[in-house]
Amino acid sequence: MAGKTELPPQLRHEAARIERIARAAGLDFGDVAFEMVDARDVNALAAYGGFPVRYPSWRFGMDFERLDKGRQYGLSRIYELVINTDPAYAWLVRTNSDMEQKLVIAHVLGHADFFKHNVWFQPTDRKMLDRMADHGTRIRRAIDLHGQDAVEAFMDSALVLDNLLDPFLPLREHMKVRAAGAQGGASTVGSSFEAVRERALGSSSSRPPTFDVLGFLAERAPLPEWQRELLRIVRAEAYYFLPQRMTKIMNEGWASFWHSRILTGGVLDASEVVEFADCHSGATASSPGNLNPYKLGIEMFRAAEERGLDLFRLRRVHNDASFVDEIVDEEFVARNALFLFGKNGRTGRTEVVDREARAVKERLLQDLSWGGLPQIELVDDDHAGRGELILRHHHDGRDLQLSHAAETLKSLSRLWGASVHFETREESSVRWISSDGAEIRTGERPYERTG
């Protein structure tokens, strides 16, 4: 990053003031390191998922290309970026106006509070910046030893599997470790606690049935050590980002709720109010086919407040799905004009299908549960005694994109070194897809154990 990154004195002063107000309002966050960067740099940071130290990959280059084109054409703009680390790093974009900087600072503090308190973030590694840098070093070393093409090819095949995770695993393990710590009576010192957690995350998934397919593979696939290491890196990073996926609506809603409250509570100059309203409504605007997580999130917190619920408890214990389950009811659906849309088979148009609260809520829950991912379970790792894998998709009415699933399976089979079989449904009929790493076969149920 070129140029100075510290905040100018006046903004530093504002940041301190906003922090005081936020704390007085009940937010609780660790240190937040604010830095100023150019619009281009923030796109690069965003391409790296917020971690400028990440390993080299063409995918980050691609994401950057897309984001930066969007910026150049004026189609998209990033105001800020904050990562869940200790201290939390927050990048403010130099081109933001003074009012926007204030808004963004307040918004960031909301996120920082959320990171610190939401239960789903408790298992995450707050030293992720160092961890990512370490991953970068390891992968660069692998490139030096095995060549860019080999590493790239392996990373590509590992990354296609990076959503075969168990979203509840980290928290489950975290709870276990905590309980063990409490039983032992010793207060867990930072580093040894980390070590225990590390072991727990490592060893929990070695046997089917499991949803943590990535963990299973990292441990059991017959891979050379360097590839195993890469697979572990992919898994560690995927699990790190998972809570953000599971709490996107809440997290954005919480941050928006607080930036709105803090700014309209005396931080704004009178001259800035209109600009604030404009910027805020832009961020929380919704269009029919498009549910804005900022909007849905802030409305849920407002509804909760009206009902006299404890907001701080809600932000601690929920993820998006459970929060929707708690808050969304008939009145909420009506007031926010939520509807269910779908494709009309006859006209091919996308249209409003239903406004009934139950249907809307059901659909929301379905979309948000399991981190928004298809639920795929490894059920057997030695099918018919031949060491073949069987995976099962828990179909919930939404079909998978089958050609992609087949390609993914091919990748999986190459990693595993034997055939893999996959059971899913299309509409209501069962579909089997198998791959031996080279070919893809569909339709047949894999042979049963004989004898």
Q: Which of residues 67-96 bind other proteins (CB under 8 A)?
A: 69
Contacting other proteins (CB under 8 A), which of 201, 293, 304, 388?
Answer: 293
The radius of gyration of the chain from alpha carbons, rounded to an integer in Å, stands at: 24
* Closest CB 439 distance from other proteins, rounded Å: 16
Q: Which of residues 368-427 bind other proteins (CB under 8 A)?
A: 368, 372-374, 376, 393, 398-408, 411, 427
Site for other proteins in 203-232 (CB under 8 A): none
Instruction: Report in angstroms how near the CB of residue 95 gets to other proteins at its nearest.
Output: 16
Q: Is 61 in the site for other proteins (CB under 8 A)?
A: yes
Residue whose pair of structure tokens reads 């700014």 in the numeric block: 263
What is the size of the binding site for other proteins (CB under 8 A)?
76
d(CA 134, CA 143): 14
Distance CA 210, CA 239 (A): 15
Is residue 349 a contact point for other proteins (CB under 8 A)?
A: yes
State the binding string over 140-179 for other proteins (x if CB under 8 A, else -). ----------------x--xx-xxx---------------
Q: Where does this chain touch other proteins (CB under 8 A) — which range of 41-49, 127-135, 176-184, 250-258?
A: 41-49
The Cα–Cα gap between 413 and 391 comes to: 11
Task: Please give the residues from 300 up to 329 whose contact with other proteins meets the rule CB under 8 A.
Answer: 320
Inter-residue contact 389 to 420 (CB < 8 Å) = yes
Among 39, 133, 291, 357, binds other proteins (CB under 8 A): 291
Binding segment (CB under 8 A) for other proteins, from list 120-128, 177-185, 359-367, 382-390: 359-367
Q: How far is the CB of 348 from other proteins (least distance, A)?
A: 10
Binder to other proteins among 7, 78, 311, 353 (CB under 8 A)? 353
The DSSP secondary structure of 118-182, one letter per residue, reads: -GGGTTS-TTHHHHHHHHHHHHHHHHHHH-HHHHHHHHHHHHTTTT---TTHHHHHHHHHHHHHH
Q: Which is nearer to other proteins, 64 or 193 (CB)?
A: 64
- Measured at the CA of 363, the angle between CA 244 and CA 78, to 5 degrees, comes to 35
Residue 100, classed as helix, strand or coil, is helix
Among 385, 394, 393, 389, residue whose Cα is nearest residue 448: 385
Among 105, 249, 263, 300, binds other proteins (CB under 8 A): 249
C-alpha–C-alpha distance, residues 124 and 117, integer Å: 12
438: which 2 tokens?
């080279």
